[in-house]
Chain A
Amino acid sequence: MSEMFSCPREAVRVKVKKCETRHQPEYRKFSVDPQITSIEVLQSILIKAFDIKGEFTVSYRAIDDYGSETYLFLLSDWDLDAAFISASEPYLYLQVNLKPFGESGDCESDWEQNAQEVATRQESGFPYKTPKLPGLIMNKMERTLSLVQRALGNLGEESHQTIQPPRPPLMDAEFRRFLDPIGQVIHSKELRAVIYFGGIEPSLRKVVWKHILNVYPEGMSGRERMDYMKRKALEYQNLRERWRSLVQKGQNIGDLGYVTGMVRKDVLRTDRHHKFYGGSDDNQNTASLFNILTTYALNHPSVSYCQGMSDLASPLLVTMRDEAQAYICLCALMRRLKDNFMLDGIAMTKKFAHLAEGLQHYDPDFYAYLKSHQADDLLFCYRWLLLEMKREFALEDALRMLEVLWAALPASPPNGELSLAEVPFPPASPPPSPNVKQIRENAYTKVCAIRRQSSSASIASGRRRNLSSDEPPLETTSENGESKRSISPYEAFSEPENDLTSVKNRKNISTEKCLSTDSLQSKTKRSNLLELKDRLTLVNRERGDMGDAEKKCARVVKNLNEFLNFTTLNKSKVTPSDERELRRVSSESGVVRVVRDETSSPDDSTDFFPMTTSMTRELRLELESLDRQVFGPSPPSEQQCDCILSKRESEIAESETETEVARCSPAADVFVWENPLHSLQQRHHPATPDEQAELEYDGEILEDQNGVKSVTPIRLLKRTARSVKSSVLRESRNRLAVSRTNTVEGTISRSESASDSEGNTDSWHQNTTAPDSPTPPIQEHCEEATELTNLIPAGTSEDQLGGGSLPPPNEFGGGNPFLMFLCITLLLQHRDFVMRNQMDYNEMAMHFDKMVRRHNVTRVLNQARQLFAGYLRRHSAPGRPDYVNV
């Protein structure tokens, strides 16, 4: 790659062979200028040269790491660059295959003995997934990537930036190749990869979005999907009619009145500049958007309506052009995103923390600059994170960006049917939402306030709290003690639970994948709670024998505070399972609380819009005293909990630098919950034996390949898998502390095996990936390690690359790592401008506000993909990436 920078070649000589079934191969020779030849140009040259009419694929000959010839596909400019760089001396040998995805030509010739192999690859629809090729492709890609990355590192003059997507959008014909004869989606991972690189042809979005949004349960045929959608659309219509009839009867009060009022106001200012929603206020599409959001809010009381949802729903309606279908898509999308709207704010806090961490990783200089301007809280990125960048691009571009982002996530089909209502409206008992809101707001408030307060002031800056001297002493408690404790309660929290529950919770965090079973279960749980119409029962449950609810309620606060301190002080490497637990519980406890509040002051229910005075007072109390028992007297169970806590503390103290461990080896976190996740996801089998076998399998492989380095983590993994009991988890955590001397490789292999076990849960994954697993060549690890440096923008020191110092993909950005890279990309693309103009916080924020809908989607996506590729290489096994095939 460096050759290219040092002495760019002016011409590359190309020899091409065209293969076509039942025809003699044809040959052509020509030269191209590698500086100006894009994949498109090359394709058009080939079309002309051979007078090609139909579709075709191009592959090039390369020498693999074992010195033998192999054919790699040319799908993108990156591939082409790689070909120019690594395989063009003295000639670049290309092979053109017509009928690309069918059987390939039976042309054989000396210089392409592997042609057949390439051809067989094609049957899988996407060439990346092969036993032998991926590593190679990865290597080539890597080189190309690092080239580009270097250019990006030196950016400023953005001349090196490619402005073409790496791949054309998915077209109808191509999509059909991902379907079997009865219309079942096969190779859904490859489908996602294709979309990730090129997006979807706009006319095809209506169909394909429902797949990548996880609307359909797994394994549906085309006919089943149609029936399913029909049924779901009907279900939506029923849900909608229920509140509409109330409105028509003039009962537009209470919850209904609140929701319709809010939603109406907001749909009237959502994407109204776009023709779809343009014109007068009674635009039918705007009305549809209103119906969708109102139905969602009323039937999902734990979320209700929050500003921002209209921005999320709008692109769905624009694409579906059908209210019911858009609603169904929204439900699918919100499975993953509703946490962003929870007023406990945990999801958002975590995303902010990860974003800061990511920026610090990729651009420490800019991060330092932000910090010096007290802008490292990054709150001006709030909209980016909440709306997943939707508003940063013009709507048409946002559609592209969104599909790429969704495709970058692992598939997560619903378990059974997608649920369209959490608690059907109107609920049998009086709606609790008014107070839920207050509770939620209360918690949420703290998170953001604290984040704002602590980021510049405290995080890693010696807690200089100069600016917030007038603030209540939120963080003034012993920080060491806090941060240590903060780890413990989470673990302690899940400890007493039986396997299934804790597994369920762990599972939920990781990625949206999890949501399937869990959301069902927790939903049942929640709705059960609500459907216990008798408040007394609830109160009893809360206070008395069932005890659990109250225990959780009380502990939520405690954990929240600790969580906050932990995230802000330690930059959030919170064990996700427990955090999830926390969240789930907090919303539950919100409901429980509500009941109690209502009993005590029924009048509140009429005035629910702004916070009530009592709420504010409560907040103040909490802010001022860090009193963890604000929500009332602690039940006996609290003590139990404390016992566990202190036990945990001592254990942590034993393992010397627990917090440091959490910081240095994110894999530790993966590890804590990943295997339980795995065990649950194997829903056709009783968890343990299966999983054990697989893990052992992985372990052996890795031991073979990596030798000593990965032995410990693998053993740990197996151990964990065998008994999901958290006692073991805890133990292994400590062991991790011991074994964390494993550097990059160790970390990689840990997360590798963990993520692999996750990936294997999808049937297609097993099919396509299983053969790969035995052969990740050792060299790849080494090359990765060395080439890693090339991926980092100039100015990043070596040690910042540390052992995968960013959280693993299923945690980073709350399980949406690509979003983090989109945000980081925006920051990187403007950092020079910001710093050159010495912008302060406000100017910076104004600058980014002005860029709303103006970012160049291709440019941003390209750079984000590059960053993401580098990141994934560090966090996934080559050839077995869990997120996308890069």
Chain B
Amino acid sequence: MSYAYLFKYIIIGDTGVGKSCLLLQFTDKRFQPVHDLTIGVEFGARMITIDGKQIKLQIWDTAGQEAFRSITRSYYRGAAGALLVYDITRRETFNHLTTWLEDARQHSNSNMVIMLIGNKSDLDSRREVRREEGEAFAREHGLVFMETSAKTAANVEEAFINTAKEIYEKIQEGVFDINNEANGIKIGPQHSPTSPGGLAGNGGQGGAQGGGCC
């Protein structure tokens, strides 16, 4: 299918916070209470529309256990966006956010958009992390924040799409070098230089370095 842009996402966070369920809810619009535990990385994709343009999201759903973090790290590099997920019913998954964030910042390109997600908002009765805490953390670290429920699908679309919007804006602002695939952005096959209006850089596909990005 044709698309104007392709964005790569990565979903990260402790094991069992619902990363795979978020992905499944977003790509398949369903919730699977019993899901295989992710080994290494699993993959998903979906087309969305922003500003009238088709955008393909390629999503890498990573395993939460540290043993696989090596792989996770290597995938940061090619990602334009990251969903950093914790479980509002498990305080420790929130406590580990700093580590994750540090990891993400260190291994990704500096412009990667990171969305902080407090998942399992449907389990409000078992909540251990207040919404305000999530908001504060996000504010402190310059992240976008949202509470979601992969189970009820609450905010799931929004989480993915808002992240895409932010990436899209960054492109418009010329922050992203769209010709460097390492930024996790690709221009669609038939949308080479001219079609997306107002792009900085505006380099062709021949590999000319675009502007904005350092």
**Interface, chain A (partner B; CB < 8 A):** 262, 265-266, 268-270, 272-273, 306-308, 310-311, 341, 343, 345, 379-380, 382-383, 386-387, 391, 437, 441, 444-449, 451-453, 466-471, 609-613, 616, 620, 842-843, 845-846, 849, 852
CB of B62, distance to nearest CB on chain A (Å) = 11
CB of A789, distance to nearest CB on chain B (Å) = 36
Which one of A441, A445, A611 has the highest number of Cβ atoms from chain B below 10 Å of its Cβ? A445
Q: Can you pick out 16 interface pairs between chain A and chain B where the beta carbons lie within 8 Å of each other? A: A262-B15, A265-B37, A269-B35, A307-B67, A308-B67, A379-B40, A382-B40, A386-B39, A441-B67, A444-B70, A452-B74, A467-B78, A610-B14, A610-B100, A620-B106, A842-B45
Nearest first, the 6 A-B pairs at minimum CB distance are A382-B40, A452-B74, A448-B70, A445-B70, A610-B99, A845-B43
How far apart sit A468 and B43, CA to CA, in the bound complex (Å)? 21
How far apart sit A272 and B32, CA to CA, in the bound complex (Å)? 12
How far apart sit A576 and B36, CA to CA, in the bound complex (Å)? 34
* Given A441-B69, A616-B102; A307-B36 close (CB under 8 Å): no
CB of B40, distance to nearest CB on chain A (Å) = 3
| B99/A383 in contact, CB under 8 A | no
Q: Which residues of B contact A846 (CB under 8 A)?
A: 43-45
How far apart sit A616 and B72, CA to CA, in the bound complex (Å)? 14
CB of A630, distance to nearest CB on chain B (Å) = 16
How many of chain B's residues touch chain A, expressed as a range? 35 or more
Q: Within the complex, which residue of B68, B73, B106, B181 is in contact with A467, where a contact is CB–CB below 8 Å?
A: B181
B140 interface hit (Cβ, 8 Å): no
How far apart sit A102 and B207, CA to CA, in the bound complex (Å)? 74
Q: Which residues of A contact B58 (CB under 8 A)?
A: 842
* Given A468-B77, A616-B99; A391-B106 close (CB under 8 Å): no
Q: Mark B28-50, 1 if CB is under 8 A from A, else 0.
A: 00000011111111111100000
| B45/A449 in contact, CB under 8 A | no
Q: Which residues of B contact A611 (CB under 8 A)?
A: 66, 69, 99, 103
CB of B23, distance to nearest CB on chain A (Å) = 11
Q: A266-B15, A382-B40, A445-B69 are in contact. List 12 more A-B contacts (CB 8 A).
A: A268-B34, A269-B35, A306-B65, A307-B68, A441-B66, A445-B70, A448-B74, A467-B77, A470-B77, A610-B66, A613-B98, A613-B99
B139 interface hit (Cβ, 8 Å): no
| B65/A379 in contact, CB under 8 A | no
B182 interface hit (Cβ, 8 Å): yes
| B34/A273 in contact, CB under 8 A | yes
B71 interface hit (Cβ, 8 Å): yes
* Given A610-B66, A616-B102, A616-B103; A307-B42 close (CB under 8 Å): no
B173 interface hit (Cβ, 8 Å): no
| B96/A610 in contact, CB under 8 A | yes
B63 interface hit (Cβ, 8 Å): yes
CB of A433, distance to nearest CB on chain B (Å) = 12
B92 interface hit (Cβ, 8 Å): yes
B109 interface hit (Cβ, 8 Å): yes
| A307/B63 in contact, CB under 8 A | yes
* Given A448-B71, A611-B103, A846-B44; A262-B65 close (CB under 8 Å): yes
Q: Within the complex, which residue of B15, B67, B109 is in contact with A470, where a contact is CB–CB below 8 Å?
A: B109
How far apart sit A755 and B70, CA to CA, in the bound complex (Å)? 35
B16 interface hit (Cβ, 8 Å): yes
Q: Which residues of B contact A452 (CB under 8 A)?
A: 71, 74-75
Q: Which residues of A contact B45 (CB under 8 A)?
A: 842-843, 846
How far apart sit A449 and B72, CA to CA, in the bound complex (Å)? 9
CB of B207, distance to nearest CB on chain A (Å) = 9
Q: Which residues of A contact B35 (CB under 8 A)?
A: 269
How far apart sit A447 and B45, CA to CA, in the bound complex (Å)? 27
Q: Which residues of A contact B68 (CB under 8 A)?
A: 307
Q: Mark B91-119, 1 if CB is under 8 A from A, else 0.
A: 01000101110110010010000000000
Q: Which residues of B contact A448 (CB under 8 A)?
A: 70-71, 73-74
Which one of A306, A379, A466, A845 has the highest number of Cβ atoms from chain B below 10 Å of its Cβ? A845
Q: Which residues of B contact A453 (CB under 8 A)?
A: 74, 77
How far apart sit A311 and B39, CA to CA, in the bound complex (Å)? 10
How far apart sit A96 and B182, CA to CA, in the bound complex (Å)? 67
